[in-house]
Amino acid sequence: MSLLIRHARVLTLAQSAESGSLAPRIRPRRGPALRELGVIARGDVFIQDGKISAVGADVPAPPGVEVIEADGRVLMPGFVDCHTHACWAGDRLGDWEQQLAGLSPAEIVKRGGGFHATVRAVREATRKQLAAGLRTRLDLMLRNGTTTVEVKSGYGLTIEAELKMLHAIQRAAQEWPGTVVSTALLGQGIEGEEAAHTRMVVREMLPAVWHEFPGIAVDMVCEAGGWPVEACVRLFERASKHGLPVRVQADQFAPTGMITEALRLHARSVDHLESATKADLVALAASDTFGVITPVTSFHLGQRGARGGAFADSGGLIALATDCNPATAPTFSMPLAIALAVRCCGLTPAEAITACTVNAAAVLGLSDRGTIEAGQRADLILLRHRDERLLAHELGGNPVECVISGGVRV
């Protein structure tokens, strides 16, 4: 199947080769390169067999090719959402209503709400029900321009329930035209006595997950009510021995000291960062570990956003995600995340676009998407805008007119 998009404002996010080298610059992007969108003011993109075949002005159209006339509208890589909890059951509307009425989180938990309410709902749901709910959410994300989604487990807490979630994610992924990357969020909540639970996860749950899902990334939440630093380090070290990529969510509500450990252990990313200290952000920026910001979460919670602009200015590897989940980030919209990243976290519109395309793909270990270049997977979105800055400026609505995933118009 072939497809030609004509006369678009193309955000290639491609970079020229280094002086004296034919190879492209190493991705992902940091520093001034975050703001380089590789714009072709009026160009064509030819897609064949699921991949981008040619990019430039006046690309020849083979006989019988389907042509999309962009008429100057923005064509860009599909969004990559590198941090979501989009597989869940039940809802947390009751929690939210009680929160609006002034109840404390502790009181909400006493009334049967909170994180463990979702855990109970996930355990009661079948694998088929979890997959169906996830597929509905994935379709909503696709309509908003997201063609690659990371989805975490984490609401099971038992071996059986965590494996059920991961199999449900796998099942939904097989039925969806985009790409789903699974993450085993094994260190999220605590059930029962802390030491016994964390020991079970490290010694029993991790091997069970690893045997069924070789190579899967492992994640953990380091915060009060989540896992303490010492337990996170044990899980991190054991996962690394199996060769598994490791990510950690830290410093969302208060500094934890986990960033230092994450850098020592070469984490792929540290996510959230709303309360990270300046010293920790500087250290993170000097490393090859990504900082993933989630501005929808801080906005929904009435919290200060992560200092993404300062982190980017310091040379940090920054990525942007929705954190889609039933409690703290009820959204499927990467355009909303972009708008809030600019308003609340200090990113420029160009930096936000790079952070949720090429850099977010790199967080997930994917190098075949996030740019519009020959040979790349043809995951593209055509906006109704003729100026990409409107992605950040406009609030509400869906700016995406056409989504192409794997070379197919979906």
Strand partners, 325: 329
Question: Mapping DSSP to helix (H, G, I), strand (E, B) and coil, where does residue 292 land?
Answer: strand
Pinpoint the alpha helices (H) of 51-153. Answer: 93-100, 105-110, 115-124, 127-143
Q: What is the pLDDT of residues 199-214, one digit of tens each?
A: 999 999 999 999 999 9
Average model confidence (pLDDT) for the chain? 95
Both tokens of 231, joined, read 């337990």
pLDDT tops 90 at residue 226: no
CA geometry: angle 345, 395, 78, nearest 5 deg: 75
Q: What is the pLDDT of residues 114-166, one digit of tens each?
A: 999 999 999 999 999 999 999 999 999 999 999 999 999 999 999 999 999 99
> Where in the chain are all domains bearing CATH 2.30.40.10?
2-77+370-409
With cut-offs at 50, 70 and 90, classify the pLDDT of residue 167: very high
**Structure confidence at residue 16 (pLDDT):** 65
Q: Report the distance separating Cα 87 and Cα 132, nearest Å.
A: 9
> Where in the chain are all domains bearing CATH 3.20.20.140?
80-363
With cut-offs at 50, 70 and 90, classify the pLDDT of residue 410: very high
Question: Hey, what CATH topology would domain 2-77+370-409 get?
Answer: Urease, subunit C; domain 1 (2.30.40)
**Structure confidence at residue 18 (pLDDT):** 47
pLDDT tops 70 at residue 23: no
Least confident of 222-226, 328-332, 380-384, 395-399: 222-226
**Structure confidence at residue 1 (pLDDT):** 77
Pairing of strands 2-11, 39-48: antiparallel
CATH superfamily assigned to domain 80-363: Metal-dependent hydrolases (3.20.20.140)
Q: What is the pLDDT of residues 25-80, one digit of tens each?
A: 448 999 999 999 999 999 999 999 999 999 999 999 889 899 999 999 999 999 99
